[in-house]
Chain A
Amino acid sequence: MIKRYAFVVNKLPYKAETTRLALTHAIASQTAEIHLEDGQGVEPVIAFIGEGVLNCLKNQKALDIYGVTSQEMHLKNALLLDLKVLVCKEDLERFGLSQDDIVMDAEELGAEVTTQVVPFDDIMKEIETADQVLYF
Chain B
Amino acid sequence: MGKLTIGCFSSLVGSLTLDFAVKLAEAAIKKGHEVDFWLSGNATMLAKKNQSKFRDYSHLAETIKELLGTGRFQITMCEACGKARGIQEEDVMEGFQIYSMDWYLASIYNADRLVHIGGE
Residues of A bordering B, CB below 8 Å: 3, 5, 11, 16-18, 21, 24-25, 28-36, 40, 42, 132-136
Number of A-B contacts (CB under 8 A): 64
Cα A5 to Cα B108 with chains together (Å): 9
Cβ-defined contact, A29 with B105, below 8 A: yes
Known: A17-B41, A18-B9, A18-B41. Contact between A132 and B108, CB under 8 A?
yes
**Which residues of B96-120 are within 8 A (CB) of A?**
99-109, 111, 114, 116, 118-120
Cβ-defined contact, B116 with A135, below 8 A: yes
Cα A29 to Cα B100 with chains together (Å): 11
Cα A40 to Cα B111 with chains together (Å): 14
Q: What would be 21 A-B contacts, judged by CB atoms less than 8 Å apart?
A: A3-B109, A11-B118, A16-B119, A16-B120, A18-B9, A18-B120, A21-B9, A21-B41, A21-B119, A24-B80, A25-B101, A25-B105, A28-B102, A31-B102, A32-B102, A32-B109, A35-B103, A35-B106, A36-B106, A134-B7, A134-B116
Residues of B bordering A, CB below 8 Å: 7, 9, 40-42, 80-81, 99-109, 111, 114, 116, 118-120
Cα A132 to Cα B81 with chains together (Å): 23
**CB-CB < 8 A to A133: which residues of B?**
116
Of A11, A17, A28, A136, which contacts B105 at CB under 8 A? A28
**CB-CB < 8 A to A135: which residues of B?**
116, 118
**CB-CB < 8 A to B42: which residues of A?**
17
